[in-house]
Amino acid sequence: MKNIVVFASGSGSNFEAIQKSILEGEIKGKIVLLICNKRDAYVIKRAEKYKIPVKILSEKEFEQYDDYVNELIETLEEYKTDLIVLAGYLRKVPDKVVKRYKGKIINIHPALLPEFGGKGMYGMNVHRKVLESGKKVSGVTIHFVDEEYDHGPIIVQEKVKIDEDETPESLAEKIHKIEHRLYPWVIKKLCEDKIKLTEKNEVKIYD
């Protein structure tokens, strides 16, 4: 059983999809903690519903950035974290954490990276930009996290067709549907050690 810590800042529909998949026995893991940087995020309510511990951790509440980083690392160690899952987490994970948990931190992005990623590219901003670009296809990317925003080695991508009358809202809905299936699948595989990041930063997926 792997200990999973989820980082989230918003609504948490992905968080809940993962928890449901765990409860259905699909994933050999357990969400041991939710780390959230916003006290009023709806994801906290969802965690409470499942009696999952929540820790509010925001760098803004620390005078020194290093103190924040150390608190974060101590927390991850305390919960014997095997896997960190970013699910709508709007802050950058400190480099020290990224290094320490290399190959054990994943992120989900609601577009086909490397396009439409980076700082400020989250939520509806992404879907608006994709539609403005005139693209006919968007999708979901799940990747290992490295020191840059939306940048690490890609584990899986799934495409979705953009319809003529697509709006940012309708695209968001389609993409969420894919995310709620694809993220639990990747987490399941990681918990079974069937997805690996090699020394050369290559992603290997085994049956």
Contact 168, 176 (CB under 8 A): no
Least distance (Å) between residue 88 CB and ligand GRF: 3
- What's the rounded Cα separation, in Å, for the pair 13 and 201? 29
Contact 17, 8 (CB under 8 A): no
Examine residue 87 and tell whether it contacts ligand GRF (CB under 6 A).
yes
Examine residue 3 and tell whether it contacts ligand GRF (CB under 6 A).
no
Examine residue 12 and tell whether it contacts ligand GRF (CB under 6 A).
yes
Q: Which residue in 10, 117, 139, 152 binds ligand GRF (CB under 6 A)? A: 10
**Given 109, 143, 151, 180, the catalytic residue:** 109
Least distance (Å) between residue 125 CB and ligand GRF: 11
Q: What are 161's strand-pairing partners?
A: 137
Q: Locate all alpha helices (DSSP H) within the chain, ordered by sequence.
A: 13-23, 42-49, 65-78, 95-100, 124-132, 168-191
> Could you tell me which of 184, 185, 190, 116 has the C-alpha nearest to residue 149?
116
Q: Which stretch binds ligand GRF (CB under 6 A): 8-16, 91-99, 128-136, 153-161?
A: 8-16
Task: Identify the three-state secondary structure at position 150.
Answer: coil
Considering only residues 89 through 128, tell me which ones interact with ligand GRF, judged by CB under 6 A: 108-110, 122
CB-nearer residue toward ligand GRF: 10 or 184: 10
- What's the rounded Cα separation, in Å, for the pair 114 and 29? 30
CB-nearer residue toward ligand GRF: 8 or 93: 8
Which phi and psi angles does 142 have, rounded to 5°? Answer: -120, 130
- Per-residue x/- track, 34-73, ligand GRF (CB under 6 A): ----------------------------------------
Least distance (Å) between residue 10 CB and ligand GRF: 4
> Could you tell me which of 4, 8, 150 has the C-alpha nearest to residue 81?
4
Residue nearest to ligand GRF (CB): 88
Considering only residues 163 through 192, tell me which ones interact with ligand GRF, judged by CB under 6 A: 179
CB-nearer residue toward ligand GRF: 67 or 173: 173
Catalytic residue list contains 109: yes
Residues whose CB is less than 8 angstroms from the CB of residue 55 and which lie 6 or more positions away in sequence, other chains included: 33, 34, 35, 36, 75
Instruction: By CB under 6 A, name the binding residues for ligand GRF.
Output: 8, 10-15, 87-88, 108-110, 122, 179
Catalytic sites, residue numbers: 109
